[in-house]
DNA sequence: CAGAGAAGTTAGTTATGACTTACGGTAAGT
DNA sequence: ACTTACCGTAAGTCATAACTAACTTCTCTG
């Protein structure tokens, strides 16, 4: 469970629709800050700040290429979310199945 | 992709730490509003509002039992999140693998 | 070495949402 | 029928964070 904090941060980070949009664009192909800002209805500094949050959450990585910074998705963050979800997935199914059984018995 | 909006709502909903805590408690066992509020540092109406948000996101369901409302997890919401994550998981891995290959070639 | 392009940082404003208090409604018990 | 318990809703306050504008830093090019 070393990735628990990562999953927490990733969930809160992707809760914002702007960051989710940025993340989905980067999932298709890596891009620089200026390119992303040109396709978004917000200013470049706003995009830069959102990318910094995504980076802190382990969802994207940044590499310098001349004066431009190329951002790409980082499997760590999304992987941590998958682990968190899977651990609750089984529990949710079991809990719901038990409830469905109770309902079935009462209906008879 | 009929569950796309559900996954979006679920992500934004679980971004809040209080709602995530409520959801994890319900994943262990179903509970009424009063029980949950007694274990949380916030008031009962606050818990009620959070549960309403979780319900709109398809993450929990509510059943009346006398004057008490029993809340339990709903597999739909967490399932939609799993689908959304899996669809991006493959893309993220592929994108990252391509980048790793480029780095490997440049290093030689 | 000077100028231009690209991006991060800071300060300040604004908007969103989380919380509490107060109120109204419904079901069980006496 | 009256009281009690449990819960949802509304109004209002307050804190957080998202956004813009202005500035600074760094790199490449002439």
Question: Rounded to an integer, what distance in angstroms lies between the CA atom of residue A10 and that of residue B10?
Answer: 13
pLDDT tens digits, A42-57: 999 999 999 999 999 9
Portion of chain B with pLDDT greater than 90, in percent:
59
- How far is residue A31 CA from its own chain's centroid? 17
Question: Rounded to an integer, what distance in angstroms lies between the CA atom of residue A77 and that of residue A8?
Answer: 10
pLDDT at A100: 67
Half-sphere exposure of A42 (CA within 13 A, CB side): 13
Nearest to A24 by CA among A83, A71, A62: A71
Per-residue pLDDT at A78 exceeds 70: yes
Return the structure tokens found at B79.
Answer: 């399932």
Q: pLDDT class for A5, splitting at 50, 70, 90?
A: low
Distances from the Cα of B13 to the Cα of A59, B50, B84, angstroms: 19, 9, 15
Q: pLDDT class for A25, splitting at 50, 70, 90?
A: very high
Q: Which residue has the tokens 């963050």?
A: A77
Question: Rounded to an integer, what distance in angstroms lies between the CA atom of residue B16 and that of residue B7?
Answer: 15
Question: Rounded to an integer, what distance in angstroms lies between the CA atom of residue A12 and that of residue B32?
Answer: 26
Q: What is the pTM of this model?
A: 0.87
Question: Rounded to an integer, what distance in angstroms lies between the CA atom of residue B39 and that of residue B41?
Answer: 7
Computed over every residue of chain A, the mean pLDDT equals: 86
User: What residues of chain A lie within 8 A of the CB of B81, using their CB?
Assistant: 85
Question: Rounded to an integer, what distance in angstroms lies between the CA atom of residue A15 and that of residue B10?
Answer: 8
Nearest chain B CA: its distance from A44 CA (Å) = 24
| Strand D close to B21 by CB, under 7 A | no
Nearest chain A CA: its distance from B50 CA (Å) = 15
User: What residues of chain B lie within 8 A of the CB of A92, using their CB?
Assistant: 27, 73-75, 78
- How far is residue A78 CA from its own chain's centroid? 6
């Amino acid at each position: 469970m070393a990735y628990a904090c990562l999953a927490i941060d990733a969930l809160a980070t992707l809760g914002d629709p702007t960051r989710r949009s940025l993340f989905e664009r980067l999932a298709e192909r890596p891009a620089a800050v200026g390119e992303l800002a040109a396709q978004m209805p917000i200013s470049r500094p706003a995009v830069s700040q959102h990318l910094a949050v995504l980076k802190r959450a382990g969802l994207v990585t940044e590499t310098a290429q001349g004066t431009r910074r190329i951002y790409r998705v980082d499997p760590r963050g999304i992987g941590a979310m998958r682990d968190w979800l899977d651990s609750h997935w089984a529990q949710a199914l079991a809990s719901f199945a038990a409830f469905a059984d109770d309902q079935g018995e009462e209906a008879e």
